Amino acid sequence: MIPLTFERSSFGRHETFPLRFGWLTKGIRAWANDNDIFEKDEAIVELGVGKNMVEAIRYWMIASQVVIPNGKTLEPTEIGRRLFFEDGWDPFLEDDATIWLIHWLLASNPADATTTFWFFNRFHKPEFTGKELQDALSVFIRENLRSRVASATLKNDIGLLLRMYEPSRVSKAIPLEEGLDSPMALLRLISHQEGTKAHLSRPEYRTRLPMGAFAFSVAQLFEHTKEQVIPVDRLLHGDGYLAAPGAVFRLTEECLIAKIEAMIAWYPRSFELRQTAGIHQLYRLAPVSSLDILTHYYEEKNARKAA
């Protein structure tokens, strides 16, 4: 989890390619075979894609926090190792929780996925056009960041965000490969309003949000802030600098509270929800590791499969 700062931001590094199924696994496996692969021409052959796609894969690995740059090469993070190595929890994104988790990791990384962080944590209009998004993002950059970004770059970032999160629309004008959905489209966090230029992204009661991804996001917020108590309103809306589960997952307040109550039952003796003077607050009763929560989730899931 990374806080928004004035100095660190990133735009346009995706080479206009949305994150695709298999890219994170392919990138991690290639790195495991050769730690310097992304600095070599052989990466084109090893990954089986063009040069621009090699750069896109490298970018999405960093943006989704499964690797971090280390000098000229990359270093897998602990979550990257546990998810995508050969004996990893879910290297082929077979569990919906992993896709929700990758979404959280993108939307909680303003340093490397600034547009995604901004949209899910700072932009709250439920209906909008691409032009409205671009204009709002431009204002946000001017008021909050050191960066000065060309309008063409912002337009590309907004277009890519919509392509990546919206289920694809069949069109003869779109090449088959470009029409394949990104895994993020399965979350249905953004949709196109048919017959218009408008797009929708509204808080909903999301029963499909898996407990593993939700509990991980809550635990990460406690880990980063080192606080023992977080108001539910902050979990819902955030403070503008750190990602908020309610905003990132587009949850209604009712759904957020229901998810918290379910989390308390699922991971006992760690959290408690209290209400004082009409204000709901979530208490951390003991140190809780976000990685331990994921371990609990995937081990429980695998045990059910084996039963």
Tens of pLDDT, residue by residue over 115-146, are 999 999 999 999 999 999 999 999 999 999 99
CB 20 within 8 A of CB 182: yes
Sign of torsion over alpha carbons 96, 102, 104, 107: negative
Q: Which amino acid is at 116?
A: T
- Report the alpha-carbon distance of residue 218 to residue 197 in Å, rounded: 35
3 state SS for 126-144: CEEEHHHHHHHHHHHHHHH
Q: Which two tokens stand for residue 160?
A: 């890519």
Please state, as a whole number, how many other Cβ atoms lie within 10 Å of the Cβ of residue 83.
25
Question: What are the Cα distances from residue 299, in Å, to 44, 90, 215, 290?
Answer: 36, 11, 15, 14
Q: Which amino acid is at 244?
A: A
pLDDT given for residue 73 in this prediction: 86
Q: Taking Cα atoms as reference points, which of 307, 304, 303, 301 lies closest to residue 90?
A: 301
- Considering just the CA atoms, what is the radius of gyration of the chain in Å? 19
Close Cβ partners of 242 (under 8 Å, ≥ 6 residues apart): 1, 3, 4, 108, 221, 224, 225
Burial class (CB within 10 angstroms; exposed 0-12, middle 13-18, buried 19+) of 176: exposed
Q: Which two tokens stand for residue 236?
A: 């819902």
Give the Cβ contact number of residue 284 at 10 Å. Answer: 20
Q: How many CA atoms lie within 13 A of 170 on its CB side?
A: 0
* Whole-number Å distance between alpha carbons of 63 and 85: 18
Q: Which domains does the chain have, with CATH numbers?
A: 211-306 (1.10.10.10)
* Residue (of 132, 96, 143, 50) closest to 249 by Cα position: 96
Based on DSSP, count helices (H) and strands (E) in the chain, helices before strands: 14, 8
Q: pLDDT digit of tens for each residue in the chain (307 aa)?
A: 999 999 999 999 999 999 999 999 999 999 999 999 999 999 999 999 999 999 999 999 999 999 999 888 899 999 999 999 988 999 999 999 999 999 999 999 999 999 999 999 999 999 999 999 999 999 999 999 999 999 999 999 999 999 999 987 644 444 434 445 799 999 999 999 988 999 999 999 999 999 999 999 999 999 999 999 999 999 999 999 999 999 999 999 999 999 999 999 999 999 999 998 889 999 999 999 999 999 999 999 988 887 7
Predicted local confidence at residue 168, as pLDDT? 78
Where do we find the tokens 């600095």? 39
**How high is the pLDDT of residue 169?**
62
- Using the structure block, give the residue that is written with the tokens 């009409």: 278
Residues with Cβ within 8 Å of residue 55, at least 6 apart in sequence: 13, 15
pTM for the structure as a whole: 0.95
CA–CA separation, 165 and 183 (whole Å): 8
- Report the pLDDT value the prediction gives residue 259, as an integer from 0 to 100: 98
Q: How far apart are CA 297 and CA 215, in angstroms?
A: 9
Position 208: which residue type?
A: R
